[in-house]
């Protein structure tokens, strides 16, 4: 069970002291059988007047900070150490009800999944639906894993990853038509494509650990990452990262799940002051293993 330490620092700078409204911080990993938070520390400057934690509608941990003083900079410095135990890549057997597509969700589970099955974005000419059907065999049924794996790797191979400085996530049609996007864009596009096929899919925000041996092949390090969860009867929620072609939780540190990316913003708030007072925002994120940290300390000592 490798230990991973995450350091996530966000600094907002302003041309003059401003006041701050409420800020919502969604950075704490979700504890579970495959991930356990061992230690965490959140430092905020200036110190907030109040800071309290809640669970949102999806069960994500959210810290809410309120301020009573002005400043020319606002800094959120987050340190967390987790025990990460990636589950093995899932495998369906022919006896599983979802082994072949199409399949039906259980009547008792369907009411809880319906919002994850229903497409949330417009597709007036059926372009997204048509793209999704391209992963089905002409002679149905199609093995479910073949669809999910094919779509995960298909996005990675056919689309061009690019960083965008604009806020938010682009419309899935824009991702399809431009053939490019960020990890958040890829995740939302895959979610909508799967929903058009009747899969229950949701958005995941978190971090990616890039071991040195795969660092050159994977992208998304140095910033928050995003991927997809798909719900399958008997298998539960399974992770798929179309940005890097990852199936399962290997190297993925889950922080938040949501129906839509707008519900899983890592850090959100407002300042109160002149419109031109905002100067810049700097974000630094490092995810290192205990092994890497030990090697660095040994190198510094020697």
**Per residue in 148-175, pLDDT tens?**
999 999 999 999 998 776 778 999 999 9
Report the alpha-carbon distance of residue 249 to residue 35 in Å, rounded. Answer: 10
Residue appearing with tokens 């900070």: 65
Whether residue 267 has pLDDT greater than 90 = yes
Residue appearing with tokens 């419309």: 171
Residue appearing with tokens 């509608």: 57
Q: Are strands 160-161 and 180-181 parallel, antiparallel or unpaired?
A: parallel
Whether residue 264 has pLDDT greater than 90 = yes
Report the alpha-carbon distance of residue 267 to residue 24 in Å, rounded. Answer: 6
Give the residues across from 204 on adjacent strands: 227, 257
Whether residue 220 has pLDDT greater than 70 = no
Q: Which of 104-108, 219-223, 257-261 has the lowest mean pLDDT?
A: 219-223
**Rg of the chain on CA atoms, in Å:** 21
- Mean pLDDT on 247-263: 95
Whether residue 227 has pLDDT greater than 70 = yes
Q: What pLDDT is stored for residue 290 in this prediction?
A: 79
Q: What pLDDT is stored for residue 219 in this prediction?
A: 65
Whether residue 99 has pLDDT greater than 70 = yes
Q: What pLDDT is stored for residue 301 in this prediction?
A: 44
Pair 27, 266: CB distance under 8 Å:
yes
The mean pLDDT of the chain is 92
Q: What pLDDT is stored for residue 212 in this prediction?
A: 64
Q: Residue 143 — very low, low, confident or very high, per pLDDT cuts 50/70/90?
A: very high
Which two structure tokens, joined as six digits, stand for 103? 């399949």
- Mean pLDDT on 182-208: 97
Q: Residue 221 — very low, low, confident or very high, per pLDDT cuts 50/70/90?
A: low
Region of 179 please: left (phi>0), alpha (psi -120 to 50) or beta: left
**More confident position, 138 or 52:** 52
**More confident position, 181 or 1:** 181
Whether residue 271 has pLDDT greater than 60 = yes
Whether residue 294 has pLDDT greater than 60 = no
Q: Residue 302 — very low, low, confident or very high, per pLDDT cuts 50/70/90?
A: very low
- Mean pLDDT on 187-201: 98
- Residue 79 is inside which H or E element, if any? strand 71-84
Closest by CA position to 228, among listed 251, 209, 200, 250: 200
Alpha-helical (H) ranges within the chain are: 110-117, 127-133, 144-158, 172-178, 183-196, 290-301
Whether residue 90 has pLDDT greater than 60 = yes
Closest by CA position to 207, among listed 167, 165, 249, 162: 249
Whether residue 12 has pLDDT greater than 80 = yes
Which two structure tokens, joined as six digits, stand for 98? 């979802």
């Amino acid at each position: 069970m490798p230990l991973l330490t995450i350091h996530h620092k966000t600094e907002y700078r302003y041309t003059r002291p401003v006041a701050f409204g409420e800020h919502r911080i969604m950075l704490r990993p979700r504890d579970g059988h495959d991930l356990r938070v061992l230690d965490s520390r959140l430092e905020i400057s200036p110190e907030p007047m109040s800071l309290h934690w809640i669970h949102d509608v999806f069960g994500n941990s959210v810290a809410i900070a309120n301020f009573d003083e002005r400043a020319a900079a606002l800094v959120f410095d987050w340190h967390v150490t987790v025990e990460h135990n990636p589950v093995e890549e899932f495998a369906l057997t022919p006896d599983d009800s979802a082994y072949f597509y199409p399949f039906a969700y259980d009547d008792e589970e369907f009411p809880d999944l319906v919002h994850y099955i229903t497409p949330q974005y417009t597709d007036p000419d059926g372009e997204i639906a048509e793209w999704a059907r391209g992963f089905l065999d002409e002679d149905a049924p199609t093995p479910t894993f073949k669809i999910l794996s094919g779509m995960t790797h298909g996005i990675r191979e056919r689309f061009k990853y690019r960083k965008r400085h604009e806020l938010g996530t682009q419309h899935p049609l824009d991702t399809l038509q431009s053939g490019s996007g960020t990890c958040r864009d890829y995740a939302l596009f895959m979610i909508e494509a799967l929903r058009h096929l009747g899969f229950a899919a949701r958005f995941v925000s978190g971090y990616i650990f890039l071991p040195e041996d795969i660092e050159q092949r994977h992208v998304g390090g140095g910033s928050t990452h995003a991927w997809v969860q798909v719900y399958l009867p008997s298998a539960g929620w399974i992770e798929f990262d179309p940005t890097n072609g990852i199936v399962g939780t290997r190297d993925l540190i889950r922080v938040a799940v949501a129906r839509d990316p707008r519900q899983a913003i890592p850090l959100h708030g407002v300042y109160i002051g002149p419109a031109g007072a905002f100067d810049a925002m700097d974000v630094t994120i490092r995810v290192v293993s205990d092994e890497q940290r030990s090697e660095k300390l040994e190198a510094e000592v020697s």
